Amino acid sequence: MKLSEIDTPAVLIDIDRAEANMQRFQAYADKHELAVRPHIKTHKLPRFAKRQVELGAVGITCQKLGEAEVMADAGLTDIFLPYNIIGKAKLGRLLALNERVTLAVTADSDVTVRGLSETFNDAPKPLTVLVECDTGMGRCGVQSPDEAVALAKLIDAAGGLRFAGFMTYPKTGAIVENEAFLSAAKEKAIAAGLDPRIISNGGSPDMWRAHEVKSATEHRPGTYIYMDRFQAAKGVGTWDDCALTVLTTVVSRPTENRAIVDAGSKALTSDTFGMDGFGYIVGYPDAVVTSLSEEHGTIDFSACEDKPQIGDRLRIIPNHACVVSNLFDEVVLISGNEVVEIEPVAARGRVD
Amino acid sequence: MKLSEIDTPAVLIDIDRAEANMQRFQAYADKHELAVRPHIKTHKLPRFAKRQVELGAVGITCQKLGEAEVMADAGLTDIFLPYNIIGKAKLGRLLALNERVTLAVTADSDVTVRGLSETFNDAPKPLTVLVECDTGMGRCGVQSPDEAVALAKLIDAAGGLRFAGFMTYPKTGAIVENEAFLSAAKEKAIAAGLDPRIISNGGSPDMWRAHEVKSATEHRPGTYIYMDRFQAAKGVGTWDDCALTVLTTVVSRPTENRAIVDAGSKALTSDTFGMDGFGYIVGYPDAVVTSLSEEHGTIDFSACEDKPQIGDRLRIIPNHACVVSNLFDEVVLISGNEVVEIEPVAARGRVD
């Protein structure tokens, strides 16, 4: 099947670029003796999760219990779920999942720890728990190394749980602060007689500086497999590394410089990460995706000498690849202009 | 089943509010002798599409062929698809759909008209086509009443097509410009011997002023059935009219004023419509949803005297209801705190 037979909008994944991206970071991490635990939220495909492990990843990261269940069903055996699992329904599912795979979760409060301990106290197998640390991101996480160690002690003493270390999703660029927090927590934990064997750091934006966070034992990159406009803007990859594009058709040319395509926010999402515009159009570096409705993308071609016509097909690198994967029931795997396979996005829409 | 048994995040639809919203606009339109043709992109549910017709709508509007096919399968018989349908695959599907229901589409270029005419030239039943007009929105559409009439003539002369009038999705607030364009196009078309029997106007933000666009014969409101934070900000409805909420759980309270909930951009979307924050928290009018990651919502409760605790459940009115419907495989229909039904979102994810 040729790419020209695919109707639009569609998500295309260049498998050769994805493979190169996976290999490149794995090689970097191997060189620095850093374990890789890729975040599958970006692709949501068992195929790539398995490939990441084949290439040397120690396991995978999922953000939702539902994603982890899909990956376990597909044969993945080592899953990290860096989330506070709260409430009876999810705790029951977590208990079942822990029997099937090597599993770890995070906690950042005594409330979470209590819920986990009550659930796993009589379980045949203890649950591995890391303490989530807010090293600058301002999202979840304990606020200081002392708090981290206090919570680690609580986990260590709780029935059914096994303390394994510290986890963070760091603020982009804040390498020094991140390392300062993690190394302090690690030292204090060791001094307290605990064994923080895993120090899990994350994120693609700073992934080529992952080795500077010297305390970290593993890194969880997500977007690195596909790259996107944001990663390219940050210099993490080039346009030629971007493996995910949205294939779209020009459906209207109302004015000399305006084109409307059939990819709107339902295909590209409204994520901007503080950038202007909603994507990068391959072959039209000076075009600007000025606005999105749900089913319309509005593009300004005034800075481009050649302008596409109605019926022309464009490929757009989205601002943020991960959220695009979640909008499509299937993606089109390509190699060059050949369609390799149309693959269901198995872990799409797993909201809980 | 009680609401308390629903795990989070989940989309709740208050069916009593939805019913009242549908009735309220239908009554307004009846009073002004304006036909209603609701846009189903907001709910994507056959149940509500049928109810809109029962209450007096002349038919429905879909934005995607795939949505229209779902609605036709569910028994809806009169569908308007205000989109330039381009390319062989979609034109073939359009031909099949036209045999099953009363169908109309739009065109804003001779390229679109040519494709439609080539497809329907030998069809047993002609296709009804309206000219899309850009009356100020800056999206699709011909740029002037003269262009509109020229394209209308082309449709009228084309084999397999029947010209039926003009359509616009107007710029919010630009009532006078919208009416000026549409009335000029209408008069010029009549002067040219054409019959623009449908003048189709759209949008929820200005729906209570729809009667001021005197040329319009029908209105296509979408969001009105659920309302959302943007419509409330525009005064189209009140918080108490908002039928769609995202039910979420507080999973972390890292600081005195910060809470993290399990609804992120995968539940609420990054749509802002120029507003600050990503939603309105029911019962906490002064709380601010400051940022979203895919699976985390960060909320600042510093302006609130009472602050929720870990495990508490919140209901968030999103900035934009329509895009939320597209993110969930099912929605929970509620009446008060009773769960009425868990309903699959039949037309979710219909990307083409």
**pLDDT per residue over A50-97, tens digit each?**
999 999 999 999 999 999 999 999 999 999 999 999 999 999 999 999
Tell me the pLDDT tens digit for each residue of A176-209: 999 999 999 999 999 999 999 999 999 999 999 9
Predicted confidence at residue B211, as pLDDT, reads 98
- Tell me how far CA of residue B38 lies from CA of A239, A295, B77, in angstroms: 41, 17, 14
Q: Burial level of B153, CB count in 10 A (0-12/13-18/19+)?
A: middle
Question: Which among B298, B310, B332, B348 is the top mutation candidate for probing chain A, defined by the most A β-carbons within 10 Å of its own β-carbon?
Answer: B310
Strands A280-281, A288-292: pairing kind: unpaired
Q: Burial level of A63, CB count in 10 A (0-12/13-18/19+)?
A: buried
Which chain A residues contact residue B140 at CB under 8 A? 251-252, 254, 260, 296
Which chain B residues contact residue A140 at CB under 8 A? 251-252, 254, 260, 296
Residue A115 distance to chain B (closest CA, Å): 10
Which chain A residues contact residue B87 at CB under 8 A? 7-8, 249, 311
Task: Give the integer Cα–Cα distance in Å for B108 and B151.
Answer: 7
Amino acid at B134: D
Cα angle, residue B190 at apex, residues B188 and B194 outer, rounded to 5°? 115
Instruction: Please report the DSSP string for A142-160 in residue order.
Output: BSSHHHHHHHHHHHHHSTT
- Tell me which residue of A52, A102, A113 sits closest to A79, measured CA to CA: A102
Question: Which among B2, B67, B139, B271 is the top mutation candidate for probing chain A, defined by the most A β-carbons within 10 Å of its own β-carbon?
Answer: B139
CATH superfamily of A16-227: Alanine racemase (3.20.20.10)
Q: Which band of pLDDT confidence, cut at 50, 70 and 90, is reported for residue A46?
A: very high
Task: Give the integer Cα–Cα distance in Å for B67 and A262.
Answer: 14
Predicted confidence at residue A26, as pLDDT, reads 98
Tell me the pLDDT tens digit for each residue of A113-132: 999 999 999 999 999 999 99
Residue B254 distance to chain A (closest CA, Å): 6
Query: How many DSSP H helices and E strands does chain A contain?
Result: 10, 17
The label of the residue with tokens 């919203």 reads: B21
Which chain B residues contact residue A255 at CB under 8 A? 143
- List chain B residues with pLDDT less than 50: none
Residue A332 distance to chain B (closest CA, Å): 14
Instruction: Please report the DSSP string for A329-349 in residue order.
Output: SEEEEEETTEEEEEEE-TTTT
DSSP state of A39: B
Question: Which among A261, A295, A309 is the top mutation candidate for probing chain B, defined by the most B β-carbons within 10 Å of its own β-carbon?
Answer: A295
- Tell me which residue of B262, B282, B348 sits closest to B10, measured CA to CA: B262
Residue B227 distance to chain A (closest CA, Å): 16
| Residues sharing a CB contact under 8 Å with residue A248, sequence separation 6 or more, in sequence order | A8, A9, A261, A262, A263, A267, A297, A313, A314, A315, A316
Predicted confidence at residue B116, as pLDDT, reads 98
> Is the Cβ–Cβ distance between B164 and B183 less than 8 Å?
no
> Is the Cβ–Cβ distance between A162 and A125 less than 8 Å?
no
Residue A38 distance to chain B (closest CA, Å): 16
What's domain B17-226's architecture?
Alpha-Beta Barrel (3.20)
Predicted confidence at residue B143, as pLDDT, reads 98
Question: Which among B91, B204, B275, B352 is the top mutation candidate for probing chain A, defined by the most A β-carbons within 10 Å of its own β-carbon?
Answer: B352
Which chain A residues contact residue B138 at CB under 8 A? 258, 298
- Tell me how far CA of residue B271 lies from CA of A219, B197, B230, B248, B268, in angstroms: 31, 36, 10, 18, 8
The average confidence (pLDDT) of chain A is 98
Q: Which band of pLDDT confidence, cut at 50, 70 and 90, is reported for residue A273?
A: very high
Tell me the pLDDT tens digit for each residue of B296-318: 999 999 999 999 999 999 999 99
Task: Give the integer Cα–Cα distance in Å for A147 and A128.
Answer: 19
Q: Do A41 and B143 touch (CB under 8 A)?
A: no
Predicted confidence at residue A97, as pLDDT, reads 98
> Is the Cβ–Cβ distance between A196 and A166 less than 8 Å?
yes
Selecting from A134, A260, A310 the residue whose C-beta is nearest the C-beta of B111 gives A310
What percent of chain A has a predicted confidence (pLDDT) above 70? 100
N- to C-terminal Cα distance for chain B?
A: 36
ipTM above 0.85, yes or no: yes
Coil vs helix vs strand at B56? coil
Task: Give the integer Cα–Cα distance in Å for A223 and A43.
Answer: 8
> CATH number for the B3-10+230-344 domain, one of 3.40.50.10790, 2.40.37.20, 3.30.200.20, 3.30.1020.10?
2.40.37.20
Predicted confidence at residue A285, as pLDDT, reads 97
Q: Do B351 and A10 touch (CB under 8 A)?
A: yes
> Is the Cβ–Cβ distance between B241 and B250 less than 8 Å?
no
- Tell me which residue of B214, B245, B210 sits closest to B228, measured CA to CA: B245
Q: Do B271 and A271 touch (CB under 8 A)?
A: no
Q: Where are the domains of chain B?
A: 3-10+230-344, 17-226
Q: Do B87 and A329 touch (CB under 8 A)?
A: no
Q: Do B111 and A322 touch (CB under 8 A)?
A: no
